C-alpha cells in the first residue's frame, strides 16, 4: 500500500509541477509583453521548479505518513 501511495504522490506532484510551470511561464510571458521588460531567465526557469519541488516534498511526506498509518493498523488484521 505504501508503494502505491508513493507512485500516486510522484504522479500527482509531477502533474502539479507541469501545471505550476505552465501557469508561471504564461504569467512571465505576459509580464514581458506588457511591460517590455527583461525578466531574468533564471527566475522564469527556477521559480516553477522550486515551487514544484516543494510541492513534491510535502506530497510525498504526506503520503508517507498516510502509508505508515495504514501499515500500522493493517498489522493487527493478521
Reported confidence tier of residue 78, pLDDT bands at 50, 70, 90 = very low
pLDDT of residue 21: 76
How far CA 71 is from CA of 23, 27, 36, 58, in Å, comes to: 37, 43, 55, 20
The confidence score (pLDDT) of residue 19 equals: 80
Condensed to tens digits (0 to 9), the pLDDT of residues 18-76 reads 787 787 777 777 666 655 555 565 566 667 777 777 777 777 777 766 666 555 555 55
pTM over 0.75: no
Amino acid at each position: 500500500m505504501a508503494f502505491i501511495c508513493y507512485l500516486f504522490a510522484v504522479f500527482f506532484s509531477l502533474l502539479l509541477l507541469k501545471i505550476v510551470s505552465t501557469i508561471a511561464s504564461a504569467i512571465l510571458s505576459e509580464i514581458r509583453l506588457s511591460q517590455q521588460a527583461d525578466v531574468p531567465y533564471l527566475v522564469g526557469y527556477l521559480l516553477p521548479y522550486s515551487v514544484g519541488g516543494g510541492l513534491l516534498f510535502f506530497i510525498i511526506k504526506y503520503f508517507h505518513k498516510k502509508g505508515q498509518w495504514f501499515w500500522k493498523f493493517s498489522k493487527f488484521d493478521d
